[in-house]
Structure 1
């Protein structure tokens, strides 16, 4: 059962999402490629949330 629980752990993913939207505090390496990747991830997360809101509004309007 503990193996299954470990499979569904989302703590590290949520910590990453929080880290993407914060400035680098010096605990993680910083490079142009990493900053670019984080900007792309920010854009995709925001687009996903906007689309999710639009889908929910459309479903409620039916």
Structure 2
């Protein structure tokens, strides 16, 4: 296996990782949706954004 393939395999997101990019896309109008599902995705968006902000603040504190 070449070095490039090893790096690609290491950073492969998979189904769980792809959710983080899918959650910020517009919903598919052909799929059924209800209030509970929309709220769940909304809370997940807030959680992901807060987590990323916390990681950035933590990294800045460690560097400075």
TM-score, normalised to structure 1, is 0.74
Say which structure, 1 or 2, has more relative contact order (CA 8 Å, 6+ apart). 2
Report how far residue 29 of structure 1 moved.
3.0
Report how far residue 26 of structure 1 moved.
3.5
**Are 2:25 and 1:22 aligned?**
yes
Question: How many residue pairs end up in the alignment?
Answer: 53
Provide the rounded CA distance (Å) in 1 between the counterparts of 2:30 and 2:14.
Answer: 18
With 24-33 and 44-53 compared, the bigger mean Cα shift is at 24-33
Report how far residue 10 of structure 1 moved.
4.3
**Are 2:58 and 1:60 aligned?**
no
Report how far residue 57 of structure 1 moved.
0.2
Q: Unmatched 5+ residue regions in structure 2? A: 1-11
* 2:43 corresponding residue in structure 1: 40
TM-score, normalised to structure 2, is 0.72
